[in-house]
């Protein structure tokens, strides 16, 4: 059986997929390039050939994360086309909840926030938030207050999921989880 060699672009995609999963599991500081290389089934040297530094790989992973988020928001918006701005934002939120059900993209964002003292990561996080905020505003036609609420609600969803608040039976947790949708 002949073996087809992967192109650099194919390997780059494989490394990005592995990086998202591995960085999501152990964070920026806790992840050696060797762990990502092992997950991608390539050598660490080849990872460095594709991405010259750990920072550049994390940033590329975060950029990919925000690309996937925008695609999910677009799919949600398409499902609500013709609706009010509030209905479009609601559909976008539902699509986002489905997207982060595997938690890798959610945890990558959480780890990016915790590593935002690294200038390249902070800039990538800002770039991604700008992208999503502009997209939500333009695509939904909602005003600034509604978009701010949409983004803030998304951050609350992150907190609910990462802290496992849906499992806490106390009143304070029910207050925070009320109306939160996630798979």
Q: How far apart (Å, rounded) are the C-alpha atoms in residues 47 and 36?
A: 8
DSSP 87-147: HHHHHHHHHHHHHGGGSHHHHHHHHHHHTTTSHHHHHHHHHHHHHHHHHHHHHH---HHHH
Whole-number pLDDT of residue 68: 96
Residues of the chain with pLDDT under 70: 1-6, 182-183
Whole-number pLDDT of residue 179: 83
Whole-number pLDDT of residue 116: 96
Query: 39-50: string of b/e by CB count within 10 Å (b at 16+)?
Result: bbebeeeebeeb
Write down the CATH number for the domain with range 8-177.
Answer: 1.10.357.10
Whole-number pLDDT of residue 183: 59
Helix-strand-coil percent breakdown of the chain, rounded to 5? 75, 0, 25
Domain boundaries of the chain, sorted by first residue: 8-177
- HSE-up of residue 39 (Cα within 13 Å, Cβ side): 20
Taking Cα atoms as reference points, which of 150, 120, 119 lies closest to residue 134?
A: 150
Whole-number pLDDT of residue 112: 97
Whole-number pLDDT of residue 96: 92
Whole-number pLDDT of residue 182: 62
């Amino acid at each position: 059986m002949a073996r087809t060699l992967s192109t650099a672009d194919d390997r780059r995609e494989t490394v990005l997929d592995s990086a998202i999963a591995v960085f999501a599991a152990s964070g920026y500081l806790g992840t050696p390039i060797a762990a990502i290389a092992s997950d991608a089934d390539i050598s660490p040297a080849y990872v460095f050939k594709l991405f010259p530094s750990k920072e550049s790989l994390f940033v590329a992973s975060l950029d990919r994360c925000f690309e996937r988020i925008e695609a999910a928001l677009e799919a949600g918006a398409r499902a609500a086309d013709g609706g009010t701005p509030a209905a479009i934002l609601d559909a976008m939120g539902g699509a986002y909840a489905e997207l982060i059900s595997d938690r890798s993209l959610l945890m990558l964002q959480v780890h990016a926030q915790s590593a935002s003292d690294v200038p390249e990561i902070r800039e990538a996080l800002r770039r991604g938030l700008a992208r999503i905020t502009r997209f939500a505003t333009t695509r939904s036609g909602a005003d600034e207050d509604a978009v701010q609420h949409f983004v803030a609600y998304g951050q609350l969803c992150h907190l609910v999921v990462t802290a496992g608040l849906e499992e806490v039976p106390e009143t304070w947790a029910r207050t925070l989880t009320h109306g939160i949708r996630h798979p």
